[in-house]
Structures are given as structure tokens and as C-alpha cells.
Amino acid sequence: MLSGVLGYLAQSPPAFPQTSPVASGTGPQHRGTARDGQHDFDFNIGTWKTHISRLQNPLTGSTTSVEYDGISVVREILSGQANLFELTADGPAGHIEGVGLRLYNPQSHQWSLNWTNGKTGVLGVPTIREFENGRGKTWETNWVMTFKRLKAADRPLQS
């Protein structure tokens, strides 16, 4: 079993017409010895039974959570410099369909995490981070996903 915690908003924020700091060359530069983090998310490639617990009202101080269960499929793309994360889940609070795109920048040694959901179809402002000492920085935990890898026989048919 694998558990992932994201401090990113449960629903994609509205897209803003701005350039990512890393893409524009104005963002933070990697400190110290350069570490190739291109394979940081390789563990996540596959098909997963997924449980989600998210704050109903993130960034308000509320601790009320809503729960969902579904399937996640993560595929490597761009020769490992990116992966595509597809999520479909249902719960008492409704249905979630979304796509995440993780992109690795070999110059900055950082990953950008981009997300859109089935309601908006618009990519929000990416979260750009890197792993330092085996972890990322912390922020409000408002989206917790627990993954259990599915065996080939248990995977839903792809359409």
C-alpha cells in the first residue's frame, strides 16, 4: 500500500495567464550539488485502487473531510521526463474525474505538478517543487490519497 499527501487544492484553481517561474528562468534555482530527480515518481507508474480524503473547504482552517474511492492510472511519457496521472473516483460528495501531468525540468531539477478536472478542463497554476533530503516542503494537508496497486487481473478494462 502507498499513501500520498498533496497540499494542493482539491479542486483545480482557476487558470491564470502567467508563465511558470521555472519555464521563464526566473524561478528558484536548485541549490548545492545537482541531483537528477527524473525518476522520483517512477514508483507511481501503474494502476491503483485509490482512496481519497480531502478537506471539504481547504485553506479555511476547517477539518471536515469528504471521502472518495476510485481508480488511478499513472503512465510514463516523454521517456520518463513526465508522467500522466488519470483519476476517477466516487463518494458521498460526488464524482471526481481528473488528469495530472507531472513534468521534470532537468535544468532546475524540479517537478511541476499540473492538474485539471472534468468540470473545468483547464490546467491550473502548476505546483513546482523538488525533493530535498528525501522529502518536499510542507503546507496545509488538504488532499490525502492512499493507493493499493492492482494486479493485472483486477484492473478495469481500458476503453
Give the SS3 label for residue 143: strand
DSSP H stretches of helix in the chain: 21-24
Averaged pLDDT of the chain: 78
Give the mean model confidence (pLDDT) for residues 55-79.
94
Class of 2-8+40-153 in CATH: mainly beta
Residue 63: what pLDDT? 92
Question: pTM value?
Answer: 0.68
pLDDT tens digits, one per residue of 111-129 = 899 999 988 889 888 888 6
**Residue 122 carries which DSSP code?**
-
CA-based max dimension of the chain: 47
Q: Residue type for 158, please?
A: Q
- Cα–Cα dist 50/97, whole Å: 12
Sequence-distant (≥ 6) Cβ neighbours of residue 59 within 8 angstroms = 9, 140, 142
**Which among 46, 117, 41 is positioned nearest to 82, based on CA atoms?**
41
pLDDT of 131: 65
DSSP assignment letter at 29: P
Q: What residue spans define the domains of the chain?
A: 2-8+40-153
